[in-house]
C-alpha cells in the first residue's frame, strides 16, 4: 500500500460503513443456485448488528431489497419465509435505521419486475436500466421506494446492484433525484455505485444538480472491496474467521500502520468501506459478522477520536 503525500488531517476524519443486499433471504441462493447457500437469514443477525452499531455509534447505510430475488414484496409477504419472520426482519431494520440510512437496491437485485403486473421481465436490472430513459428509470426507482415506505422504511438514497446505471450515469442520477423527491420529498440525495480501491483520496461528487428546484445528487464511492466476501465459502466459522482476519490486514493492519483505511485516513478522508449482508451471514456461520465487529474495534483502537462516524446522508450533505 503506497503512502499518501497529503498532510495529516487537522480534525476528525469522516468514516462511513455501507452494507449492501440486506434481506430476510440470502440472495446467493438465487444468484448461484448450483452452490449450497442457505436461504433464510436469521433475524438475530440483524438484531446483533443493530445492537453493535448502536453501542459503538457506527454510522453509514444499509440497503434493503424491496422484493429480494423476486421472492415477494416486503410490504406484502414473502412466500418462502416462516410465519413471523418478515415482521421480525422489518423490526430489525427499524432498529438499524437508528444508526444507518436506508436505501432500496433497486427492486429485486436480479430480474426486473413490472410494477403494474408484478411479473418478472427477461432482463436483469442493470442491463434493463442501461436501455431506459430518465422517466422510465425514475418510475422504477419510485416503485422500489414505495415498497419500502409501505413497509414502514423511509429511504433517503439509492444503492445500485452491480454497476446499475454506470453506462448512463447522468441520466441515472437525474432519475434518482426525481424518484426520491416524488416519493419521500428528499431534495439532497445520494447513491452508492462506484468502488475505488486505488485513488489515495476518495472524492464524493455531485452528479446531478437542479438549481431551479434546489435538488442535488451525490455519488459516494467505497474505497474498498468487500473483505468479508469469501467467508461465505469457508466450511466452518473458525475457517471463515481466518479468511476475514487475513483480508482485514489489507484494510487496517493490526499495528495500525498499513492498509487501505490508513491511506484514506492520511488523505483526510472520507474513509468509506462496504460489505454485504450475505458476507455477514457467511452461509450461517456468521464469521463475517464477527469479522466486521473485529475491524470496527480495530478502527476504534487505532484511530480513536481522530475519526467520526457519519451517515451517508450526512457525508453527502457536505458536498455542494
Domains of the chain as residue ranges with CATH: 13-317 (3.20.20.370)
pLDDT of residue 5: 39
All cell numbers assigned to 239: 475457517
Residue with cell 453493535: 52
Q: What angle do CA 128, 81, 147 make, to 5 degrees?
A: 45
Q: What is the value of pTM for the model shown?
A: 0.94
pLDDT of residue 35: 87
Query: Distance between CA atoms of 285 and 272, rounded to whole angstroms?
Result: 26
pLDDT of residue 1: 37
The pLDDT of residue 135 is above 90: yes
pLDDT of residue 34: 86
pLDDT of residue 79: 85
pLDDT bracket for residue 8 (50, 70, 90): low
User: pLDDT digit string (tens) for 252-300?
Assistant: 999 999 999 999 999 999 999 999 999 999 999 999 999 999 999 999 9
Amino acid at each position: 500500500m503506497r503512502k499518501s503525500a497529503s498532510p495529516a488531517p487537522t480534525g476528525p476524519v469522516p468514516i462511513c460503513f455501507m452494507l449492501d443486499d440486506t434481506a430476510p433471504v440470502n440472495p446467493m441462493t438465487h444468484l448461484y443456485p448450483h452452490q449450497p447457500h442457505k436461504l433464510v437469514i436469521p433475524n438475530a443477525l440483524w438484531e446483533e448488528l443493530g445492537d453493535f452499531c448502536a453501542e459503538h455509534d457506527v454510522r453509514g447505510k444499509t440497503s434493503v431489497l424491496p422484493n429480494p430475488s423476486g421472492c415477494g414484496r416486503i410490504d406484502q409477504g414473502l412466500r418462502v419465509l416462516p410465519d413471523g419472520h418478515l415482521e421480525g426482519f422489518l423490526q430489525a431494520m427499524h432498529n438499524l435505521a437508528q444508526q444507518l440510512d436506508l436505501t432500496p437496491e433497486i427492486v429485486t437485485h436480479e430480474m426486473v419486475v413490472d410494477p403494474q403486473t408484478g411479473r418478472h421481465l427477461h432482463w436483469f436490472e442493470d442491463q434493463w436500466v442501461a436501455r431506459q430513459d430518465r422517466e422510465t428509470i425514475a418510475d422504477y426507482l419510485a416503485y422500489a421506494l414505495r415498497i419500502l415506505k409501505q413497509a414502514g422504511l423511509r429511504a433517503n438514497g439509492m444503492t445500485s446492484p452491480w454497476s446499475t446505471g454506470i453506462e448512463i450515469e447522468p441520466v441515472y442520477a437525474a432519475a434518482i433525484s426525481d424518484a426520491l423527491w416524488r416519493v419521500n420529498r428528499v431534495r439532497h440525495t445520494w447513491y452508492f455505485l462506484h468502488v475505488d480501491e486505488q485513488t489515495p483520496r476518495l472524492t464524493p461528487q455531485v452528479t446531478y444538480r437542479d438549481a431551479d428546484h434546489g435538488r442535488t445528487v451525490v455519488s459516494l464511492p467505497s474505497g474498498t472491496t468487500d473483505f468479508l466476501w469469501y467467508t461465505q465459502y469457508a466450511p466452518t466459522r473458525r475457517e471463515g474467521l481466518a479468511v476475514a482476519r487475513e483480508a482485514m490486514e489489507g484494510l487496517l493492519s493490526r499495528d495500525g500502520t498499513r492498509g487501505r483505511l490508513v491511506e484514506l485516513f492520511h488523505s483526510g478522508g472520507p474513509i468509506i468501506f462496504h460489505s454485504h449482508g450475505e458476507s455477514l451471514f457467511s452461509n450461517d456461520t456468521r464469521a463475517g459478522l464477527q469479522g466486521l465487529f473485529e475491524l470496527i474495534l480495530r478502527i476504534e483502537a487505532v484511530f480513536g477520536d481522530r475519526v467520526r462516524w457519519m451517515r451517508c446522508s450526512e457525508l453527502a450533505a457536505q458536498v455542494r
